[in-house]
Amino acid sequence: MNSLSALIAGKEIRSNKNIFQSLNPADLRDIVGTYSSAEKDLCRDACTAARDAFTNWSATPAPVRASVLQNFAHLIEKNKTALAQLVTREMGKPFREALGDVQEAIDTCHFFVSEGRRLYGQTIPSEMPLKELFTYRRPVGVFACITAGNFPVAVPSWYFVPALLCGNTCVWKPSEDTPETSFAFYKLLIAAGVPKGVFNVVFGTGQTTGAALVELVDEGCIDKVGFTGSTEVGRRIGEICGRNLQSPCLELGGKNPMVVTPDANLEAAIHGALWAAFGTAGQRCTSLGNLILHESIKDKFSKMLIEKVAELKVGNPKSSDIFYGPMISEKFMKTHLNNIETLVEPHHKLLTVKNGRISSSNDWSHFSGDAENGLYVFPTIVDNVHQKDRIYDTETFGPLINLMSYSSLDEAIRLANSTGYGLSSSIYTNNMETAYRFKSEIKAGMTSINNSTTGAEAHLPFGGNGKSGNGSRQSGIWVLDQFTRWQAVNWDVSGKLQLAQMDTGYISPTDTVLPTQF
């Protein structure tokens, strides 16, 4: 049986080769969808279709392009529940979180609809008479993007809504963990009025289809690359784009710190730490990695945290009272289990009695689900972690956090900054000077004061530094710089050649000498 491999210029392309399945991680017996990995020729065809569609789409007035995105927002709103249910089924996010994932796409559309009437340039005074200077935002061209499966609706909207608004055409390689959700995203976008060839999709794994798509940068098929995923893969993409003098959008991993000071509201900090560490089973780039506690409150805070963790409800993400569900896929579960096996050292202390995979023989007291057929794991807390430990600066991408202690704010900031990552950060304190110093000296691209390390709003820039990204930002007006190039235009109506810096009519001063005394 042929399975969907690509969506190019409005056509469904199917194949019986390189078949892969999307499985419900809460019940692996449930096959959500069957797809075929697109090979390099199909990726090239998708880029060609995008290139062919670019002329007309880029010439379409920006407010008209924005109207399509407005339609897209309305269609998502009408299908919000169904789309969220699909997210929950395909990647295991609790339904409440899935609704938030979908809402982020709606918010992003609403924000950028108005930007369709605000793609401002400038009129600049010239140093010459009868000459005008202008700047314009121009679309980059063909935008190819590879996204992860942990936010299968929100993150693609961060990329494609502003990219399309600015007049670019797109080729998308969605995560192999969420192809069915991605197909639904595509169908709503096409129904909103996106013309054929403007938005194309190639399905497949990162190692096959993703790698093939990025290789096309060397062939001149792609003008801009976006990637959400691991730092390791981001480096390789950055190398390819760099040798083609392109600047990609790289939204990579994190080892995000949360500092808790002695004067903090500890109850609020506990809730912030729980959500940051274990929400979405820790499978967020902004998840809490290192919980850095002042030595005077460490024992008290640790005890409070352990008590709250013991009460967490884990299980079927369809249940309304579940804190977190399964791992997204078997790949992520195996990585999580390997991290516990290889990164936890003899001097570490596991504060959680049970760790690893939840099963009928190794049960969690607040578990409700099918442990034997689902990809469920225990929450894990590793204590006595030091800066020299590998677990300190390794992104673990699962429900696992480290506990560290500090004695001075200088030490806390050093521990927060020294992992090499710089995505998200948080501090809980009621001291204004402490908060001010932290937000000024932290190297992360995003900082929360008395809030979690996770969370984003459609009108605030999202992104990181160091191993977390190359400085590009998603969301808000700042992302427009990723999807447009500035064009400077000078228009001379004098009827003659005027040479800047040489034919200027600057006024010379007279030789006036002031008296030595007044």
* Residues belonging to the active site: 251, 285
Calculate ∠ Cα 110-116-120, nearest 5°. Answer: 130
Q: What pairs with residue 187 in β-bridges?
A: none
Q: Are 329 and 25 in contact (CB under 8 A)?
A: yes
Distance CA 112, CA 157 (A): 11
Q: Give the residue from 323, 280, 284, 328 showing the smallest Cα distance to 26.
A: 328
Token look-up 């639904």 returns: 184
Q: Are 343 and 289 in contact (CB under 8 A)?
A: no
Cα–Cα distances in angstroms (integers) from residue 169 to residues 153, 166, 394, in the given order? 19, 9, 36
Q: Give the residue from 197, 205, 159 showing the smallest Cα distance to 8.
A: 197
Q: How far apart are the first and last CA of the chain?
A: 99
**Token digits for 253?**
């991993």
Token look-up 């900082």 returns: 447
* Three-class SS state of 381: strand
